[in-house]
Copies of this chain bind each other. A is one copy, B any other.
Amino acid sequence: MDAQTASSSKGNSESKGRLFLVPAPLDFGCDTQAALEDALPSATLQTAARLTHWVCENAKSTRAYLKRIDALHPLAAPLQQQEITELPREVHKKGDHGDKGSAPFDARPLLAAALAGHDIGLVSEAGMPAVADPGSSVVRAAHDLGITVVPLVGPVSLLLALAASGLNGQNFAFVGYLPQDGQERTQRIKELEATANKTGQTQLFIETPYRNAALWQALVQTLQPQTRLALASGLTLPSARVHSKLVHQWRQHPAPPDNRTPVVFALGR
């Protein structure tokens, strides 16, 4: 537990609690669950079990996650006594740092418990909080308040997908979601391919699962035959699959993804 216990910084923050970034398993919304100890180091689970104050995307799934942790490492406080605060709707709607024109969300009030000396856990629905998920406003507020931030090790689907794609991992970008409108999406796919061709930068993106097959089709239709396209789904689960092929190979052997499992898409040279 060294990494967790010894990382509080000296000086001002000594009497303050810390903000732990607690990764969650990648099985949110999936048919099957991963064994927690398969996807997370024991130190991460032990640290999570010790916390009693949470900031999260969704309180219900945070409670479900804490229940799973409790079965391996008894929680320091019973579920009913855990203080669980959801990020406000504003963050879900406008993002952590505001829409264009709107003021960024001030998350400092969410960290009052840390100023009073309690460690706080930040957790999202799946994977690492604040990566392809809300939460960065809370991390930023912690830095602004002099609260030590401790990221814990856990699964990150984007990086597992990138490593398993065979695409360039020394220069890559994650660009979030592509536009829903067909024409705009085609345009964006061409832009991403042009960037990958020009700079060698692998382009990663995600989609709401029920649009997986439609996005795959648009990619296979739009991209050049020699571009490589990789799809990774169900990572860390028994159903894990990674397929990485040139576009002309996808065209020869079409294999659209299903519309239930989260997929990470990657393209490049």
User: A residues touching B (Cβ–Cβ < 8 Å)?
Assistant: 1-4, 6-7, 9, 21, 34-35, 37-43, 95-97, 128-133, 135-137, 139-143, 148-151, 153-156, 158-176, 200-201, 228, 235-245, 269
Q: Which of B21, B40, B43, B96 contacts A168 (CB 8 A)?
A: B96
Q: Supply 20 A–B pairs (Cβ within 8 Å), ascending by A.
A: A1-B38, A3-B34, A3-B39, A6-B238, A38-B153, A40-B153, A41-B41, A96-B168, A130-B163, A131-B169, A136-B165, A136-B166, A140-B166, A143-B244, A149-B164, A149-B242, A153-B154, A153-B155, A153-B236, A173-B201
Whether A132 contacts B169 in the complex (CB less than 8 A), given A2-B35, A143-B245, comes out as: yes
Contact A159 B128 (CB under 8 A): yes
Contacts A95-B170, A148-B242 aside, 12 further interface pairs with beta carbons under 8 A come to A7-B238, A41-B41, A41-B42, A97-B168, A128-B159, A130-B162, A136-B166, A136-B167, A136-B169, A143-B166, A149-B164, A158-B159
Contact A160 B153 (CB under 8 A): yes
Per the bound structure, the CA–CA distance linking A133 and B6 in Å amounts to: 28
Whether A151 contacts B43 in the complex (CB less than 8 A), given A163-B139, A237-B3, comes out as: no
Per the bound structure, the CA–CA distance linking A170 and B135 in Å amounts to: 10
A132 proximity list for chain B (CB < 8 A) = 169-170
Contact B3 A240 (CB under 8 A): yes
Q: Which of B43, B97, B143, B167 contacts A37 (CB 8 A)?
A: B43
Per the bound structure, the CA–CA distance linking A199 and B181 in Å amounts to: 20
Residue of chain B at shortest CB distance from A205: B171
Task: Report the minimum CB–CB distance from A3 to chain B (whole Å).
Answer: 5
Per the bound structure, the CA–CA distance linking A169 and B187 in Å amounts to: 24
Per the bound structure, the CA–CA distance linking A109 and B251 in Å amounts to: 27
Contact A241 B9 (CB under 8 A): yes
Contact B165 A171 (CB under 8 A): no
Residue of chain B at shortest CB distance from A19: B164
Contact B163 A129 (CB under 8 A): yes
